[in-house]
Chain A
Amino acid sequence: MTTPAIQLSGVSKEFATSSGTTLALDHIDLEIPSGAFVSLLGPSGCGKSTLLRVIGDLIPPTAGTVAVAGMSAREARRTRQYGMAFQAPGLMDWRTVRRNIELPLQVQGVPRAERRARADEMLELVRLTAFADHRPRQLSGGMQQRVAIARALAMQPRVLLMDEPLGALDEMNREHMQRELLRIWRATGTTIVFVTHSVPEATFLSTEVVVMSPRPGRIAERIAIDLPFPRTDDTRVAPEFYAAESRVRSALHAVLDPYESVTS
């Protein structure tokens, strides 16, 4: 194995609150190999979104180090190794679909012609070429989310950080997008860190599921999912999938506080 895509050593994060400090992340050690699809799974408040933002250098850890492709997280962000997608598409109304995808390239200073060519390539990847000149609001929620993913991929980032990007979609769109995401991941070879609170979603997508426990956020269990690729809708009804899903589910239930009604 070459340098891991992401290496977390002893990462802790404290937040100052009115009643003192809250420990959101407690000594996280995690190694994510290059090209992996890793889901961070856990109940609300387990710090999975915080962990994602620490990896992406959007918030600094209180202690510990984050290395991305052998660089510090700060350096990785400065050299633009990250693509990010969030629960909401976060597209810009004032830009067409194509120009939304071009934005990261524009920030990077890529010349116009190259920008456009790359955006068109990404549009093809997410199968939205016909909508290049539409405004975001003219698209359905699922299509907007695909544009957001295309935007995140436009710079060909080494690491794609996704914070519940499919959370707002209905079941049918969600499963469709999961297949699309796997297809894109396999086509690009990007390392993906994916935050979710859905057991079947984590199981279907990931090469590894990291189950986190709440207050303070810790890694409770790491479960390798060795279902073969390509994964299709048939995968979802295969006995091996049920077995893997059950393992993830019981790991998750083990971390849920029985006295608190936390939804999983």
Chain B
Amino acid sequence: MSAFSPARPVRFSTGTGVIRALAPAAVLGALVLALWQVVVSLGGIQAYLLPAPSTIAAALVSDAPQLLAAAVPTTTAIVSAVVLGGILGVVGAIVITLFEGVAKVVLSLVAVASCAPIVALAPIFNAWFGSTSLMSKIAVATVAVAFPIVVNTTRGLLRVDPLHRELLDSLSGTRGQLLWFVRLPGALPSLFDGLRIGSTMSVIAVIVSEYFGGTAQALGVVIANSAAVSRFDLTWAAVALASAIGLALYALVALVEALVVPWRRALAS
């Protein structure tokens, strides 16, 4: 053993590591908010143009019951779409990978299609499922989530270390075993890349779909309606809440990734 250097210790980031990583962003965010507050109050900017952060915070508190009630169907739609789109995307990627010969062509087609603004389909889905149904929002967002996941996961599945392939060949491994032992675990990091993009897409797709009519009190409806009656403090408060939901979802995906793909962090350090 002495001839070898000792194992390099790998630092898995801890709670304090996360705090340290987020601290600069938090400080910067606080500075931006403070600057915003100062510019609005000293610059005499009208509230309907740009309300001060303090005004938005006040709306968040005073309209909390309405906002929280609105957040429920919106969050439900966002999370459902991430789960459904995730399943759809991974299954789609596996199916594409099974047709090895044409997989690359299909992948480029899907990648091109994924550039389409999926959320533009919202009025169509509203017509299909009913504009006030949760289903139409979930449907639009599911499609929006599935695309980046299909593209990223397929790329991951197709990228096989030639040595791993040769190893499986030398063991007379089946295609199924190559998929299960090599392709799928190797594609997990790419899958999570797709899932992180998808979770952002889901928030956008659901909120924008709700602009075209939503379940009675969804966040997108609150945003659209409050803007229509010039209650921009409420509009901004709803936007802030929607952002918070998006952030929380992103953090959740990152957490699941850290649990499912622990070796990735080991590589990064």
Complex Cα spacing A78 to B8, Å: 38
Q: Chain A residues near B177 (CB, 8 Å)? A: 107
Least CB distance, A110 to chain B, in whole angstroms: 12
Cβ < 8 Å to B, chain A residues 118-174: 127, 131, 134-135, 137-140, 142-143, 155, 161, 172-173
Q: Chain B residues near A227 (CB, 8 Å)? A: none
Q: Chain B residues near A116 (CB, 8 Å)? A: none
Cβ < 8 Å to A, chain B residues 1-41: 1, 3-5, 7-10
Task: Give how many B residues have a beta carbon under 8 Å from the other chain's beta carbons.
Answer: 29
Can you spell out 14 A-B residue pairs with CB atoms less than 8 angstroms apart?
A58-B166, A77-B169, A77-B170, A84-B166, A88-B163, A92-B181, A93-B263, A93-B267, A94-B261, A104-B171, A134-B7, A135-B266, A137-B267, A176-B3
Q: Is the interface of B mostly helix, strand, loop or mixed?
A: helix
Which residue of chain B has its CB nearest to the CB of A89? B163
Complex Cα spacing A241 to B163, Å: 34
Partner of B8, one of A94, A138, A142: A138
Cβ contact within 8 Å between A103 and B4? no
Q: Chain B residues near A82 (CB, 8 Å)? A: 170-171
Cβ contact within 8 Å between B172 and A137? no
Say yes or no for A56: interface residue by CB 8 A criterion: yes
Complex Cα spacing A56 to B171, Å: 10
Say yes or no for A222: interface residue by CB 8 A criterion: no
- Partner-B contacts on A (CB < 8 A): 56, 58, 77-78, 80, 82-84, 86, 88, 90, 92-95, 103-104, 106-108, 127, 131, 134-135, 137-140, 142-143, 155, 161, 172-173, 176
Cβ contact within 8 Å between A137 and B266? yes
Partner of A135, one of B3, B10, B182: B10
A94-B263, A173-B3 are known contacts; what are 12 more A-B pairs with Cβ within 8 Å?
Answer: A58-B169, A80-B172, A84-B166, A90-B164, A92-B181, A92-B185, A107-B173, A107-B177, A108-B171, A138-B266, A140-B8, A142-B4
> Given contacts A58-B166, A90-B161, A172-B3, is CB(A135)–CB(B263) below 8 Å?
yes
Say yes or no for B198: interface residue by CB 8 A criterion: no
Q: Chain A residues near B4 (CB, 8 Å)? A: 140, 142-143, 173, 176
Q: Chain B residues near A155 (CB, 8 Å)? A: 171
Complex Cα spacing A107 to B185, Å: 15
Cβ contact within 8 Å between B163 and A94? no
Cβ contact within 8 Å between A90 and B172? no
Say yes or no for B168: interface residue by CB 8 A criterion: yes
Say yes or no for B167: interface residue by CB 8 A criterion: yes
> Given contacts A137-B266, A138-B266, is CB(A107)–CB(B168) below 8 Å?
yes
Least CB distance, A157 to chain B, in whole angstroms: 9
